[in-house]
Structure 1
């Protein structure tokens, strides 16, 4: 295969563009913000779970407070009725029964009010926990949003860079003969690099030194011959540093 030496040298520009595109793709996959987002999402979910637990516990206590308050109100209403009945008068036995019931109601009310006070204190503590859990969720959401914003900014920069390199690559590809480009693409698909400059006796595609026989064969080839690295198969582009 033959190709004008100037056309062959354009392969090095293509290699540079492909290398930049590969680096950009690698950076896109390995942005530190991606791992940060994953961690922030897990942390946010954990904080939300904590908030749900705190809210559920607070809700349970709120229902218990209402139940106890309801029972206390019922006892107070019963006490009021009993006192009114005592004031209305009646037999001695009725008065004694009412007095006994009032004492029982008073003791029961005292027990319920103690329970109510204890539950209200627990609810107050849980309300504080709910507030702190909600603040933790808000902070976790802010951390996630910040990481996502930085990821999006990085993606925007990468998109712009990749667009430039693709445009440049397309313009180079348009200049290259189809057979030369086919060899380049095939080797690149297999080896990762389709061409490299010959620097002294070293192939810049695989960074290996050519043996003496291979080097003599390359240097004796015509300037428009397309030569390949005996080690990696990449197209060897001879330049001023090729020792020819």
Structure 2
């Protein structure tokens, strides 16, 4: 393929802009993944699970306390009923039975009240745990919200830079002959580089110094010959600094 040397030189600008677009795209992808955001998300999910479990324990304790209080109220009501009956009973045997039942109920109330105190202590501990986990979760979610806002701002900035690079790339590509541009795009799609500057005998795309044999072949090529780099397969752009 033939192409004017000045058209081949334009490919270096095109390659630079393509490198910029690729770099900025990778930056956007990295920002979207956000390792720190992922870490905070994992922490928040763990805390939400812990909060659900702690809240469940509080609800269990509240139900147990309500049951004990209900049982206490029932026992107290029976004592009041028996007290009323005792005032009106005529039989000593019946009176003794009521007094025995009332004594048993008082012991039952004592046991229930002891159990209530224990459950109330557990409830205080469990509610405190819920509050602690809620505070931790609020801090993590606040940190995550801050990071999301910062990330979105940075992504918007990088996307603007990428769009600018894409537009500049389109303007530069429009200056390149269609057949040369097609070759550039094909080589870049296949090998990662479409154009490489030969600088002091080194191909900048591969960073490799060309052999004397390769350099001899390149010296024999006409200035408007399109030469491919033997190492990177990119279009090898020759300038005054190529060392030929």
Structure 1 and Structure 2 fold alike (TM over 0.5) = yes
Question: Residue 205 of structure 1: SS of its match in structure 2?
Answer: coil
CA contact (8 A) 1:44 1:140 kept: yes
CA contact (8 A) 1:203 1:210 kept: yes
Which residue number in structure 1 is paired with residue 23 of structure 2? 23
Number of residue pairs the alignment of both structures matches: 244
Question: Residue 30 of structure 1: SS of its match in structure 2?
Answer: helix
Kindly state the Cα deviation for residue 101 of structure 1 after the two structures are TM-superposed.
1.0
Question: Residue 231 of structure 1: SS of its match in structure 2?
Answer: coil
Kindly state the Cα deviation for residue 32 of structure 1 after the two structures are TM-superposed.
8.9
Question: Residue 205 of structure 2: SS of its match in structure 1?
Answer: coil
CA contact (8 A) 1:197 1:203 kept: yes
Which residue number in structure 2 is paired with residue 165 of structure 1? 165
Paired with 2:33 and 2:225, the residues of 1 have a C-alpha distance of: 48
- What are the equivalent positions in structure 2 for 1:24-63 lying under 5 Å apart? 24-31=24-31, 34-63=34-63
The TM-score, its normalising length taken from structure 1, stands at 0.94
Which residue number in structure 1 is paired with residue 148 of structure 2? 148
Which 5+ residue runs of structure 2 have no aligned equivalent?
none
Which residue number in structure 1 is paired with residue 108 of structure 2? 108
CA contact (8 A) 1:198 1:242 kept: yes
Choose 135-144 or 218-227, whichever is displaced more: 218-227
CA contact (8 A) 2:31 2:155 kept: no
What are the superposed Cα offsets for residues 6-45 of structure 1, whole Å, 9 maximum, x if unpaired? 2111100001001111211222233496111111111111
What are the superposed Cα offsets for residues 100-155 of structure 1, whole Å, 9 maximum, x if unpaired? 11111111110111011111111111111111111111112112212222221221
Kindly state the Cα deviation for residue 230 of structure 1 after the two structures are TM-superposed.
2.3
Which residue number in structure 2 is paired with residue 123 of structure 1? 123
Kindly state the Cα deviation for residue 226 of structure 1 after the two structures are TM-superposed.
1.6
Kindly state the Cα deviation for residue 210 of structure 1 after the two structures are TM-superposed.
1.8
Which residue number in structure 2 is paired with residue 83 of structure 1? 83
Which 5+ residue runs of structure 1 have no aligned equivalent?
none
The TM-score, its normalising length taken from structure 2, stands at 0.94
CA contact (8 A) 1:33 1:151 kept: no
